[in-house]
Amino acid sequence: MQTDNSTLPASFESTEPRVKQFITKKFKIEFADQVNDDTDFFAEGLIDSYGFLELVKWLEGEFKIRFEDEELFAGNLNTAKNITQTIVKKINS
């Protein structure tokens, strides 16, 4: 059962594991020495444009948020750290 997080404040610590778990499972990306919270998934060729669409769809469904077009192309969703910070900011605003 999925919990509605729309009324709960989000924290980096509670959001990051969910984001990383999805990325690991969906894109087979293991967070270790070579890939860390600041690795740019797109610059490194780990996620392509189709994967980006899947990521956005999952984030919007999982966290019950919607991205504006400008948010999608502002470097907000290129690393695990940026994704988590963006989600926390959107939920808490």
* Band of pLDDT at residue 80, cut at 50, 70 and 90: very high
Phi-psi region of 28 (alpha: psi -120 to 50; beta: other; left: phi over 0): left
pLDDT in tens, 82-93: 999 999 999 998
22 HSE (CA, 13 A, CB side): 20
pLDDT in tens, 9-33: 689 999 999 999 999 999 999 999 8
Residues of the chain with pLDDT > 90, as a percent, come to 82
**Which CATH code for domain 12-92?**
1.10.1200.10
Domain ranges in the chain are 12-92
